[in-house]
Structure 1
Amino acid sequence: MIVAMARSRKESSTEQAGAPAAGAWRPRPLSGDRPTYQALADAIAADIAHGRLGPGDRLPTHRALARTLGVTVGTVARGYAEAERRGLVGGEVGRGTFIRSGFGVSPTAGDELVDLASLHPPAGKIDTIALLSETLNAVAADPSALRTVIDTERGNDAPAHRQAAADWLAHGAFRPDADQLTLTAGGQHALVAALSALVAPGTAVATTALTNPGLLAAARQLRLPVVAVAADGAGMTPDALADACAGGAVSVVHLQSTLDNPTGRVVPAARRAALAEVCARAGVWVIEDDPLGALVADRPDPVAALLPERTCHVASAAKVLSLGLRVGLLTTPPAARARLVAAVRATAWLAAPLLGEVFARWVDEGTAARIVAARAAAAIERRALAADLLSTYEIVAAPQAPHLWLPLPEPWTAGQVVAAARQVGVLISPGDDYAVSRATSAHGVRIGLNAEVDDDRLRRALLDLVALLVAGPLPGGLS
């Protein structure tokens, strides 16, 4: 994918400590789940990324490497050609094949952009289109279901749909009653409704300094101030939250307890309990933003189970089942239920009953659980791949996270990396998209391990990103 372009590098880097002697390089064991020539190109890219190969290093001759690997000379030639196509190596007639002194930033003609900017958990070995087709055929053949879809009673969610939502959310000590549930037109709709109903005039929403951009967009639309609260590796810190809530300046606290956006971390049980205690003492409302929670089967109890009288829990079918299944699940504390339902009705009246019927059937028949299990398994595999390729960087995302936060090495800036990555055909999200304010340090990027990208393209894209990071930005800070 990477094609070399003119940019000067200091050739003295070829003499760095640990660089292999001319022609002495030997790759680590090649991946057996893909063509050998592609695995060889991947091995070259990985060793460049991890400093085992540097600019100007000469690779073994085709014949010598073929003998070492036990493959044909033609296979090595194809592997070197693939590495050259990616801009990693260059051949010189009569001299051999060398690691290039710079890495290009232009995608090969015809290559499509690899979208690692979106957040859509990988599907695993499951065909959601076939499952949806079966369900829609079943609905069409069921007169009772059709009446539910067409004649929703007085504009209310069908009781069976709310019960399915309650069953779906039940986890550990969190056992919401169906009467507490309101279905919405997706998780973002639920978030907007909760903010509009719960934030008191003249007060602010508190969240972590890096947070869900959906919250920031909703707050801007509603003209609500947002306060950044310090966080550490375990999430928002209780002392910082207590300081933010002092004096009544904050009326709503936004928490992402499981697989938060953008870091992918899971807040430990003890920290959840401590945050719930702070919120109880301060008398503030909590919006627990939890669209990905189902991917972590052993997650701690949500804050909604620890502080049910003050917590509005927001979940979504779209992120973990299917993007087109725009069904949000809003668990409402009794004291605020009337306000929350009114806010939902004012903004979208109610969730589409047909989507509610599909969701309810998937829950009741166990289809939803199978989809989530497949997505979680696929996310674990991809997260492990990303962690291996990015092993020199500090990745905090949980094993089931379908995305991760990549802190950037100096002298890169987020803007430079995003621009350079796009030029090699990879889309990633800059940290500024998640920052509460410009004063917030957002020296990183979010990488999505998305369903639309197959395993091979993901591997190559990550290798290209690491090669870019190792090469460094262009002189003058341009990308």
Structure 2
Amino acid sequence: MPDYRSVADAVAEDILAGRLRPGDRLPPQRRFAREHGIANSTAVRVYSELIRRGLVVGEVGRGTYVKAGTPDVAPALSEPGGAGVDLELNFSILPEQPSLMAEGIGRGLRPDALASSLVPVGAAGTAPARDAAISLLARAGWAPGASQVLFAGNGRQAIAAVAAALVPVGERLAVEALTYPVVKGIAARLGISLVPIAVDEYGMVPDALESAHHARPLRAVYLQPTLHNPLGSTMPSRRRSELVDTLHRLDIPVIEDSIYGFLREDLPPLAGLAPERVVVVDSLSKRLAPGLTVGFVVTESAELRERIAAALRSGGWMAQRFALAAATRWVDDGTAATVQELKRRDAAARQQSAAQRLDGFDIAADPHAYHCWWKLPGQWRAETFVAAAARRGIAITPAAAFTVGAGHAPNAVRLALASPPPEALSHALDVLAMLARGTPEDTGVE
């Protein structure tokens, strides 16, 4: 009887050669087992292996399908520039930004300023940078202390450093059942096991977190309570309090990803409720631009700051002094505040455009968010819809990209609204609405 890996290799070859196309449904596992002369248990392992390789996705109540954007084609959350209209990567560069930011960069290119920017800087940055970080990160009555701030090269590196400091190799990190895909890659490289925790319309479910911890202890929790990616939801005050109470009772630390928090000035981070338990991570990539960014880590614990600083140094995740100095100037001269306000208005306008053009569909989003979550009509599967959109030159992300483990993915897609010019965004949303009102047969994708 063939080994499950050799059977999976044969199916993978058919997928990568195009004999099985994105959106094609694999047979039910029992039928697959009969057709290949293998045991049912072997078929289960074959399908699990194909899911692990990112070649297929299981959809609740629907079966297993070839994934749109296989590794040799266009993976979810891929490199920028691959599609005519990119609703997959979510960053905004407003037309006003280059002129607003040019002066701060220009001052940093003076010989005296440049000389000081050419030497390395430690994880604690500089005193002016720490003061700037306090001003930048403060919201809704919460602000970090100057001694509590560390700097990374970007937000992803900040997450990696905190995870490395909190969760030993082989231990468990709880995440929302749908989470930021990069966290999956970080966990894999660090040897950390991710544990998906159920979410509802209010965010992570405290009882589900407690059950997972009692089954086997969790070392930390990673979550996005404000403008969750991909769900676009914001955790209300009551759920925040319930979750913090649970975390206190279980004695579990939290990594709070606050990357989109600047779009909701009315809500403090969870750290406002539990500063001794919550580590806030943030960056300039969404606030300003991903091409010249800095990551931030805020923790009240001096002992934990030492461990995170050590992880930043050993991982090569330190902030660069030039970027740190530029960010400090942009905060001090008001550029950062101006750009952030412009982005709040821009996000609200784009969200309103999406609501109008996708009216009548099952869309979930915070009106302040730069993305939305679309539960597709019944005639569409997520992977098939992604493939149909790609044929129209529009890149979108299926739910499977955000699913932790080999579980079934919801029949949904995330639309990132931030990157295209407004006119291109409007046209793309109209095209997607037209596709969704039709059927896969109408588009030639089945």
Query: Normalising by the residue count of structure 2, what TM-score does the alignment of the two structures yield?
Result: 0.78
Whole-Å Cα distance in 2 between the matches of residues 206 and 240 of structure 1?
10
Per the alignment, residue 120 of structure 1 pairs with: 91
Whole-Å Cα distance in 1 between the matches of residues 443 and 337 of structure 2?
51
Per the alignment, residue 410 of structure 1 pairs with: 378
Per the alignment, residue 136 of structure 1 pairs with: 105
User: Do residues 268 (structure 1) and 236 (structure 2) align?
Assistant: yes
* Mapped contact 2:123–2:150 kept (Cα < 8 A): no
Whole-Å Cα distance in 2 between the matches of residues 271 and 441 of structure 1?
24
Per the alignment, residue 14 of structure 1 pairs with: none
Whole-Å Cα distance in 2 between the matches of residues 296 and 154 of structure 1?
31
Identity %: 34
Structure 1 position 346, deviation (Å): 0.9
Question: CA offsets per residue over residues 360-414 of structure 1, 9 Å max, x none?
Answer: 1111111111101111101101101101111212222111111111111112111
Per the alignment, residue 191 of structure 2 pairs with: 223
Query: Of 422, 425, 431, which aligns to 1:455?
Result: 422
Per the alignment, residue 213 of structure 2 pairs with: 245
Structure 1 position 202, deviation (Å): 4.2
Structure 1 position 214, deviation (Å): 1.4
Whole-Å Cα distance in 1 between the matches of residues 417 and 119 of structure 2?
40
Query: Of 229, 254, 278, which aligns to 1:311?
Result: 278
Change (3 A) 1:445 1:349: closer
Query: Of 412, 417, 423, which aligns to 2:391?
Result: 423
Query: Of 138, 149, 165, which aligns to 2:133?
Result: 165
* Mapped contact 2:258–2:281 kept (Cα < 8 A): yes
Letter in 2 for 1:150: L
Whole-Å Cα distance in 1 between the matches of residues 422 and 366 of structure 2?
19
Whole-Å Cα distance in 2 between the matches of residues 361 and 432 of structure 1?
40
Per the alignment, residue 472 of structure 1 pairs with: 439
Whole-Å Cα distance in 2 between the matches of residues 382 and 476 of structure 1?
27
Change (3 A) 1:269 1:477: farther
Gaps of 5+ in 2: 1-81
Letter in 2 for 1:115: D
Per the alignment, residue 180 of structure 2 pairs with: 212
Structure 1 position 122, deviation (Å): 5.9
Letter in 2 for 1:120: F
SS of 2:219 mapped into structure 1? strand
Whole-Å Cα distance in 2 between the matches of residues 199 and 244 of structure 1?
16
- Bigger mean CA deviation after superposition, 358-367 or 152-161: 152-161
RMSD across aligned positions (CA): 2.1
Structure 1 position 460, deviation (Å): 1.1
Change (3 A) 1:243 1:392: same
User: Do residues 203 (structure 1) and 171 (structure 2) align?
Assistant: yes
SS of 2:235 mapped into structure 1? coil
Per the alignment, residue 261 of structure 2 pairs with: 293
Whole-Å Cα distance in 2 between the matches of residues 296 and 289 of structure 1?
14
Query: Normalising by the residue count of structure 1, what TM-score does the alignment of the two structures yield?
Result: 0.72
Whole-Å Cα distance in 1 between the matches of residues 144 and 174 of structure 2?
25
Letter in 2 for 1:158: T
Decide which structure has the larger Cα Rg and report it: 1
Structure 1 position 358, deviation (Å): 1.0
Whole-Å Cα distance in 2 between the matches of residues 477 and 241 of structure 1?
43
Whole-Å Cα distance in 2 between the matches of residues 112 and 254 of structure 1?
31
Change (3 A) 1:411 1:174: same
Whole-Å Cα distance in 2 between the matches of residues 287 and 178 of structure 1?
19
User: Do residues 369 (structure 1) and 340 (structure 2) align?
Assistant: no
Per the alignment, residue 39 of structure 2 pairs with: none
Question: CA offsets per residue over residues 20-71 of structure 1, 9 Å max, x none?
Answer: xxxxxxxxxxxxxxxxxxxxxxxxxxxxxxxxxxxxxxxxxxxxxxxxxxxx
SS of 2:369 mapped into structure 1? coil
Query: Of 316, 321, 330, which aligns to 2:288?
Result: 321
SS of 1:228 mapped into structure 2? strand
Per the alignment, residue 364 of structure 2 pairs with: 396
* Mapped contact 2:232–2:372 kept (Cα < 8 A): yes
Structure 1 position 257, deviation (Å): 1.2
* Mapped contact 1:332–1:340 kept (Cα < 8 A): no
SS of 2:387 mapped into structure 1? helix
Structure 1 position 152, deviation (Å): 4.7
Per the alignment, residue 146 of structure 1 pairs with: 114
* Mapped contact 2:219–2:253 kept (Cα < 8 A): yes
Gaps of 5+ in 1: 1-110
Question: CA offsets per residue over residues 102-143 of structure 1, 9 Å max, x none?
Answer: xxxxxxxxx9711111111362xx522223321121123372
* Mapped contact 1:325–1:355 kept (Cα < 8 A): yes
Change (3 A) 1:474 1:202: same
Question: CA offsets per residue over residues 49-94 of structure 1, 9 Å max, x none?
Answer: xxxxxxxxxxxxxxxxxxxxxxxxxxxxxxxxxxxxxxxxxxxxxx
Change (3 A) 1:120 1:431: same
Map residues 10-159 of structure 1 onto 2, 5 A cutoff.
Answer: 113-121=84-92, 123=94, 126-141=95-110, 143=112, 145-152=113-120, 157-159=125-127
Whole-Å Cα distance in 2 between the matches of residues 148 and 466 of structure 1?
53
Question: CA offsets per residue over residues 311-351 of structure 1, 9 Å max, x none?
Answer: 11000101121121220011123141111110011112520
Whole-Å Cα distance in 2 between the matches of residues 294 and 203 of structure 1?
32
Structure 1 position 172, deviation (Å): 2.5
Structure 1 position 454, deviation (Å): 1.4
